[in-house]
Structure 1
Amino acid sequence: MIMQIIGSLMKISIFPTIKGYKAEYLKKDAFAGLIIAAMTIPISMGYAQISGLSAVYGLYGSILPLIMFAMFSTSKQFIFGVDAAPAAIVGSSVTAMGIMSGSKEAAAVVPVIAFLTGMWLLLFYIIKAGRVVGFISTPVMGGFISGIAVTIILMQIPKIMGGSAGHGELFELLGYIIKAAQNISWMSVLLGCMTLAIILVSKKLFPRFPMAIVMMAAGALLTYYTNITDYGVALLASVEPGIPAPSLPDFASVDVISCLGTSITVAVVVMAETLLAENNFAFRNGYKLDDNSEILACAAGNITASLMGCCPVNGSVSRTAMGEQFGGRTQMMSLIAAALLAILLMFGTGFIGFLPVPVLTAIVISALMSVVEGELAIRLFKVSRSEFWIFMAAFGSVLLLGTIYGVVVGIVLSFAQVVLRASKPPRTFLGMVPGHRNFYDLKRNSNAYPVANVVIYKFSSNLFFANVSVLQQDIEDAVKPDTKCVIIDASGVSSIDITAADRLESLYRSLAKRGIKLYMAEHIAAVNDQLRQLGYSELIEEGFVRRTITLALLDAGYEKPYHLEGVDQNVRQPQMSGHFKSEQEESLDEYEWAFGEFAPARMEEDVKEIIENITDVTEIEAGTRELINEAIGHAHIWGGLGSIDEDELLRRLELHASELAKRVHNNETTIAHIIEQRRHEIAEHLMEVNPQAARRLREHQKMLEERLEEENKKKNN
């Protein structure tokens, strides 16, 4: 197992988004990296405090973890770092442990949680847990991301008002806002609102202009030349220069068992939130992700964060949105942002203390506003009200219950959506247009007429417990006193569960008592295999399945041209148009299609039945030929054979030539000659009407000889 993991890791591509890097990307990547670094300062410091650490650890955790994430990530633009959801979960856990925020105890326990989070994510990578994101629909994903964005915006509002950032769910966040309003700093509100308004207007008028950096510089200059702190405007805390050396967390000083529960919750949130947001950005910008590689990138980032003494790290929607706004093309912008933050910590920490919190908070809020999927919600409201409510449910669950419950609700909603849609699948009744051979929707084509005494019903979904009752009710409602045959066009069915199989068998028996034949046609062979596995081989034996609608009609005794309801049969119909196969061609290898891997054994039983049915005695070759043909024709309960299947039956019959010769009192050579002549006639006929089918026959004959040789070896052994 360990060697497999090592082998898997050795195959991983390093810095995949930077391979083949083009020089023209550097300008935008560098500029986006500068913006991201600037945004990271207030965000990471604030969230580090929420997690229970000193603010500076947010900067320590925004260098190496970014580089490690960029090393493995296949996302061209997603930015990693200290973020809201993991910080809030860890902060709540630290408080529940009775540990004071900012204390030495917190500085010991938080990195342990980050390390364990990384190990859980590594396990998720090994078991390929990322595939769960494929089950999340667009409305759920949009609602989830919008909920996260609005949650973070609400966390930031108290900072605009001169207070500290909030955390928790909606009602807790509203509490922080109300508390901040009681000691509001109007200068702080003015600075924040002006900054936000200028950035939003700039986005409309000059979308590529870096107004965020201009406002940050303006805020620093305002602090330098005025005394804005006298008016209640908070500044970022000063930071000592330098970067600590990486070191393992002190596991001996903490309760690791208590940290395990928190860490797995954080790991699930990191995986779900990051993958959902990454896929959302990838879809919008037209590139593909390797979800499993993203989990590995998250694992590497969190383990590295723990070595820096930081809290668990996560994909950042706000910083990614800002990078997208300024045209970042690859993970080079993450490397540039990390390098700039390292330079800042080494040589420019004094600048940090001049940055007004409301200005930086407004920059963060402006980025988050573009993440809220308002346009998607409006579009869903107009075109699909049910999907709109799914969007709102996902949005509300994140806002009211938090990220982890939002993920659970999102997955449940996605599966519920699938079940609800599948429970009411597209379905219709089919008929024929005079002069044409295909089958058409009777509702959509006014020139189509039902085949007399026949119900042809198309069901376009997999059959399972939630929708089989719809099929049953539709058919029972459609059956009339003169109905003799019902055919289910199952071309849209690729699987069937036991509940559906039970109902089909019940419907089959019920209709049979009323003298009505029920068929299922046009489906893939795998459905027949499923019917056998579910214990309904007898349905196949009795002819319930047929390869095409035409063959089902033929088996029920309806031959072309069909009598159509409402069409005068005495009036000459136009020549039937369209390229199509004859019944014989349609059923080339229908036997094998129906019986699958059991076809050879079933065919051997048929061969024995044929031999047993031959009771007449003759020495005339013509009489023997007629006798064999008649026995073949009457031996099969299931129905007539296609050319390929008949050829295989004849070949297997040939192996019993000596036994057959005794039954008809003729010599073995004559029997073999009769059978070979019939096989030759089949091949010649196919070559005339369908050369491609003739080639299929030759291929099948080669495969048959190999199969017979294998069967013979097994018998001899």
Structure 2
Amino acid sequence: MFLKNYNWMNLRKDIPAGIIIALVSIPISMGYSQIAGLPAIYGLYGSVLPILLFGLCSSSPQFVFGVDAAPAALVGGMLATFGIAGGTKEAMAFVPVVTLMVTLWLLLFALLRAGRFTNFISTPVMGGFISGIGCEIILMQVPKLFGGTASTGELFELLHHILREAMQHFNLLSFVLGMCAIALIRFCGKRWPKVPMPVILMFAGALMSYFLPLKKYGVTMLPPVEPGLPSFSVPDWGVLMSVDRHMVLASMTIALVIVAETLLATNNFAMKNNYKVNNDRELWAYMLGNLAAAFTGCCPMNGSVSRTGIAAQFGGKSQMMSLAASGTMVLILLFCTGFIGYLPVPILCAIVICALMGILEFDLAAKLRKTNRAEFIIFMAAFLGVLLLGTIYGVVIGVILSFIDVFVRAVVPPRAYLGCIPGKDGFYALDRNRNARRIQHTVIYRFSGTLFFANVGTFQEDIERAVTPDIRQVIVDGRGIGSIDITAAERLPVIYRNLEKNGVRFYMTEHPGVVNDLLYKYDDEKLLEAGMCRRHVEDALAECGLVRPYPIVAHEGDEQRIQIPYIDEKVAEYEWIFGEAANGKLIEAAEEIAEAIVELGTFDEHQMLRGLRKQAAGNWDEVNDREILHHVAEVLHRLAEESREMHRDAHGIEELQHEVEESLEEHLRHPKE
């Protein structure tokens, strides 16, 4: 339990955060309790004991538990299916039984340690899921901004409900209050993030409704509630005895939604805040929280994304805030229920919407759109799945697409043709190192993935495509090949024989010994005996009569370059790290140097290059000198042109440019050995 190692210095943030959570929970919990078919007061009852038990048992230091949208909406749907009107005695007997059945499912999930399934859910799935849930709940709340009522369902149902409510119940004053509250919270959140604007606006709204006739002008207030704590009662045995398979399946669906939504959101917050949660322990916490809800007459409960966002905003550090929230709700139920009737719904709705806006991860979607189209599609599929089909479907779609993406990556793993750089050890990808050169009559092919039935065709095609009439040996760098299946094992002898017919030797190198064991089991020992497998690339090259310095295939204009001993040059490092962006990075460095030269008004080549060499930790050479001088000269030329266009004296910049160009010409005439 967190109290054993609790840092009591965190009380100054946990207690205020807990009080704010309790206050914000008033409109949220009451509204969702009504959606679930219960009187509004049961939303407040659900914010006492269930939150307390969850806080004592959860491994997450900041996630908040309570009455929330998805389970409440599903229970409301069950009531409609069974023809039970919300708010009636039948509903008040039916809902706790559903909560108890959900608790039993959660107990089963905890015993089966079902929390492990989140390990198979990627960041794009989590981001799309959380954003979908956030948008869905925002759309549920929107009608309350202008005097309407909240709704449930998926995107088109919610949009239809918003339009209908706007046409029938639109109240301008409510809308102005709600939108002004959103604007204030957003503005103050950026300008003064430590100011608890939601709480300030809540009390301001109560004062406004007390002194001004807001209700007379159509602004909706929260319904008044009677003071008193929740009572304990065993769910109705009569309803329990009448349970049928439809109730069993429906309760299982609700339990799955609770597990999926809460575990995903909890792990998402944990990842963002650099801590870990115990998924199995979380399931026990959900079970205990719902057990308490069942025996206090409440609807099923899960983690609240909106309230967790508010808690994080106000610095909640541990589950002490949940204990504080539970204690605050007890005080509210005992002494402050009269205050609840003065709270304007539009302002409270604005508080919830702003909290939900803070959890949307569209910045992640924008990043994925630029960097990884497949993961962007997965994000959008999970997002739209939640919005269009529902919580479970969004998760299922995202997980299925993630597995497809994993399979595609396994089918088309990273591959490269390798060469060597004169004066350097090792072998380098030809497409990411400008100074790497192919070894004469040799193909070195790196395959970075498990070799199995779905990608062995790609493996063979890459090798056959690289074999030209001058090639005498093909060497596979297989350090990424951790395993091999029977289909690939049967294909290797075919590749070996096809190359052998054309006078080309074939070698597998660098792979772990387990691959040799598998080849032996798959009856490929003849290949092993024939010497196809070698421990290192160098061993295979040596058997072909090639030793360092390896003869290379020179490029046009290499005469000067290949005579220079390379010492892990920075240009090649830029290409390896940044790929296509390498040239842009070099230009950025040149621009910084050129601006510094202009500011100082002098060019000191020795000082400039010494600084770069020091920054590169010695990984710099003559080629780098020429590269950077060339770019600096170009930048100075551009700066001179810009000065002339602005009618400024460009003479000083031109002189600096000439000095740099003279230094570059000297390097080209007399390259350093």
Using structure 2 for the length normalisation, give the TM-score. Answer: 0.78
Work out which of the residue numbers 315, 320, 335 in structure 1 matches 2:308: 320
Question: Which residue number in structure 2 is paired with residue 128 of structure 1?
Answer: 113
Deviations for 1:618-663, whole angstroms, at most 9, x for unmatched residues? xxxxxxxxxxxxxxxxxxxxxxxxxxxxxxxxxxxxxxxxxxxxxx
Question: Relative to structure 1, is the Cα distance of residues 455 and 83 closer, same or farther in structure 2, using a 3 angstrom cutoff?
Answer: same
1:37 aligns with 2:22: yes
The alpha-carbon deviation at position 346 of structure 1 amounts to 2.4
Question: Which residue number in structure 1 is paired with residue 220 of structure 2?
Answer: 234
1:506 aligns with 2:500: no
Question: Which residue number in structure 2 is paired with residue 164 of structure 1?
Answer: 149
The alpha-carbon deviation at position 523 of structure 1 amounts to 1.6
More displaced stretch, 462-471 vs 409-418: 462-471
Supply the distance in 1 between the matched residues of 2:375 and 2:264 (Cα, whole angstroms).
18
The alpha-carbon deviation at position 350 of structure 1 amounts to 1.9
Q: How does 1:187-266 map to 2 (within 5 A)?
A: 187-254=173-240, 255-256=242-243, 257-266=245-254
In structure 2, the gaps of 5 or more residues are: 556-561, 568-673
Residues 435 and 574 in structure 1, CA contact (< 8 A), matched pair in contact too: no
Give the match's secondary structure for 2:495. Answer: helix
1:362 aligns with 2:347: no
More displaced stretch, 161-170 vs 531-540: 531-540
Supply the distance in 2 between the matched residues of 1:405 and 1:128 (Cα, whole angstroms).
22
The alpha-carbon deviation at position 305 of structure 1 amounts to 1.4
Question: Which residue number in structure 1 is paired with residue 516 of structure 2?
Answer: 528
Residues 112 and 259 in structure 1, CA contact (< 8 A), matched pair in contact too: no
The alpha-carbon deviation at position 388 of structure 1 amounts to 2.9
Residues 47 and 58 in structure 1, CA contact (< 8 A), matched pair in contact too: yes
Question: Which residue number in structure 1 is paired with residue 103 of structure 2?
Answer: 118
Work out which of the residue numbers 74, 78, 91 in structure 2 matches 1:93: 78
1:450 aligns with 2:473: no
The alpha-carbon deviation at position 161 of structure 1 amounts to 1.7
Supply the distance in 1 between the matched residues of 2:447 and 2:532 (Cα, whole angstroms).
16
Identity of aligned residues (%): 51
Question: Which residue number in structure 2 is paired with residue 22 of structure 1?
Answer: 7
1:558 aligns with 2:545: yes
The alpha-carbon deviation at position 32 of structure 1 amounts to 0.7
Supply the distance in 2 between the matched residues of 1:125 and 1:509 (Cα, whole angstroms).
55
Supply the distance in 2 between the matched residues of 1:171 and 1:151 (Cα, whole angstroms).
11
Supply the distance in 2 between the matched residues of 1:271 and 1:287 (Cα, whole angstroms).
20
More displaced stretch, 243-252 vs 360-369: 243-252
Give the match's secondary structure for 2:5. Answer: coil
Deviations for 1:554-574, whole angstroms, at most 9, x for unmatched residues? 4x5435347624379xxxx99
Question: Relative to structure 1, is the Cα distance of residues 433 and 375 closer, same or farther in structure 2, using a 3 angstrom cutoff?
Answer: closer
More displaced stretch, 452-461 vs 430-439: 430-439
Question: Which residue number in structure 1 is paired with residue 89 of structure 2?
Answer: 104
Supply the distance in 2 between the matched residues of 1:102 and 1:505 (Cα, whole angstroms).
74
The alpha-carbon deviation at position 38 of structure 1 amounts to 0.7
Give the match's secondary structure for 1:19. Answer: helix
The alpha-carbon deviation at position 433 of structure 1 amounts to 3.6
Supply the distance in 2 between the matched residues of 1:168 and 1:533 (Cα, whole angstroms).
56
More displaced stretch, 325-334 vs 99-108: 99-108
Work out which of the residue numbers 29, 41, 44 in structure 2 matches 1:56: 41
Residues 143 and 393 in structure 1, CA contact (< 8 A), matched pair in contact too: yes
Supply the distance in 1 between the matched residues of 2:82 and 2:486 (Cα, whole angstroms).
50
Letter in 1 for 2:72: A
The alpha-carbon deviation at position 315 of structure 1 amounts to 0.7
Supply the distance in 2 between the matched residues of 1:253 and 1:213 (Cα, whole angstroms).
41
The alpha-carbon deviation at position 542 of structure 1 amounts to 4.3
Supply the distance in 2 between the matched residues of 1:96 and 1:483 (Cα, whole angstroms).
73
Letter in 2 for 1:244: P
The alpha-carbon deviation at position 451 of structure 1 amounts to 3.4
Give the match's secondary structure for 2:194. Answer: coil
Question: Relative to structure 1, is the Cα distance of residues 502 and 52 closer, same or farther in structure 2, using a 3 angstrom cutoff?
Answer: farther
The alpha-carbon deviation at position 443 of structure 1 amounts to 3.1
Work out which of the residue numbers 389, 394, 399 in structure 1 matches 2:377: 389
The alpha-carbon deviation at position 331 of structure 1 amounts to 0.6
Residues 70 and 335 in structure 1, CA contact (< 8 A), matched pair in contact too: yes
Question: Relative to structure 1, is the Cα distance of residues 543 and 60 closer, same or farther in structure 2, using a 3 angstrom cutoff?
Answer: farther
Residues 159 and 358 in structure 1, CA contact (< 8 A), matched pair in contact too: yes
Question: Which residue number in structure 2 is paired with residue 431 of structure 1?
Answer: 419
Question: Which residue number in structure 2 is paired with residue 549 of structure 1?
Answer: 537
Question: Which residue number in structure 1 is paired with residue 56 of structure 2?
Answer: 71
Letter in 2 for 1:191: L
Residues 29 and 43 in structure 2, CA contact (< 8 A), matched pair in contact too: yes
Supply the distance in 2 between the matched residues of 1:65 and 1:99 (Cα, whole angstroms).
26
Deviations for 1:401-425, whole angstroms, at most 9, x for unmatched residues? 1111111011112222223333333
Letter in 1 for 2:233: S
The alpha-carbon deviation at position 179 of structure 1 amounts to 1.7
Letter in 2 for 1:91: G
Supply the distance in 2 between the matched residues of 1:500 and 1:307 (Cα, whole angstroms).
59
Residues 381 and 394 in structure 2, CA contact (< 8 A), matched pair in contact too: no
Question: Relative to structure 1, is the Cα distance of residues 193 and 492 closer, same or farther in structure 2, using a 3 angstrom cutoff?
Answer: same
Which is greater in Rg? 1
Supply the distance in 2 between the matched residues of 1:230 and 1:316 (Cα, whole angstroms).
33
The alpha-carbon deviation at position 131 of structure 1 amounts to 2.3
More displaced stretch, 280-289 vs 320-329: 280-289
Supply the distance in 2 between the matched residues of 1:217 and 1:539 (Cα, whole angstroms).
81
Deviations for 1:342-399, whole angstroms, at most 9, x for unmatched residues? 2222232222222111111111111111111132223333333443333222221111
Residues 541 and 547 in structure 2, CA contact (< 8 A), matched pair in contact too: no
Letter in 1 for 2:545: Y
Residues 451 and 562 in structure 1, CA contact (< 8 A), matched pair in contact too: no
Supply the distance in 2 between the matched residues of 1:491 and 1:101 (Cα, whole angstroms).
64
The alpha-carbon deviation at position 127 of structure 1 amounts to 2.6
Residues 114 and 280 in structure 2, CA contact (< 8 A), matched pair in contact too: yes
Supply the distance in 1 between the matched residues of 2:389 and 2:487 (Cα, whole angstroms).
36
Supply the distance in 1 between the matched residues of 2:527 and 2:256 (Cα, whole angstroms).
46
Question: Relative to structure 1, is the Cα distance of residues 448 and 351 closer, same or farther in structure 2, using a 3 angstrom cutoff?
Answer: closer
Supply the distance in 1 between the matched residues of 2:238 and 2:460 (Cα, whole angstroms).
65
Supply the distance in 1 between the matched residues of 2:380 and 2:180 (Cα, whole angstroms).
31
Question: Relative to structure 1, is the Cα distance of residues 105 and 519 closer, same or farther in structure 2, using a 3 angstrom cutoff?
Answer: farther
What RMSD, in angstroms, separates the aligned Cα atoms of the two structures? Answer: 2.6
Give the match's secondary structure for 1:207. Answer: coil
Deviations for 1:526-558, whole angstroms, at most 9, x for unmatched residues? 33344455565554454443322223344x543
The alpha-carbon deviation at position 163 of structure 1 amounts to 1.6
Supply the distance in 1 between the matched residues of 2:347 and 2:550 (Cα, whole angstroms).
80
Letter in 1 for 2:316: G
Question: Relative to structure 1, is the Cα distance of residues 428 and 45 closer, same or farther in structure 2, using a 3 angstrom cutoff?
Answer: same
Question: Which residue number in structure 2 is paired with residue 399 of structure 1?
Answer: 387
Supply the distance in 1 between the matched residues of 2:270 and 2:113 (Cα, whole angstroms).
20
Letter in 1 for 2:147: G
The alpha-carbon deviation at position 30 of structure 1 amounts to 1.0
Paired residues, what number?
558
Work out which of the residue numbers 300, 315, 325 in structure 1 matches 2:288: 300
Q: How does 1:289-688 map to 2 (within 5 A)?
A: 289-532=277-520, 536=524, 538-554=526-542, 556-558=543-545, 560-561=547-548, 564-566=551-553
Letter in 2 for 1:248: V
Residues 143 and 165 in structure 2, CA contact (< 8 A), matched pair in contact too: yes
Deviations for 1:476-517, whole angstroms, at most 9, x for unmatched residues? 101123433322111122233444434434323433444433
Question: Which residue number in structure 1 is paired with residue 133 of structure 2?
Answer: 148
Deviations for 1:205-233, whole angstroms, at most 9, x for unmatched residues? 21111111111111112222233222222
In structure 1, the gaps of 5 or more residues are: 1-13, 579-717
Question: Relative to structure 1, is the Cα distance of residues 535 and 144 closer, same or farther in structure 2, using a 3 angstrom cutoff?
Answer: farther
Residues 439 and 553 in structure 2, CA contact (< 8 A), matched pair in contact too: no
Residues 432 and 564 in structure 1, CA contact (< 8 A), matched pair in contact too: no
Residues 437 and 577 in structure 1, CA contact (< 8 A), matched pair in contact too: no
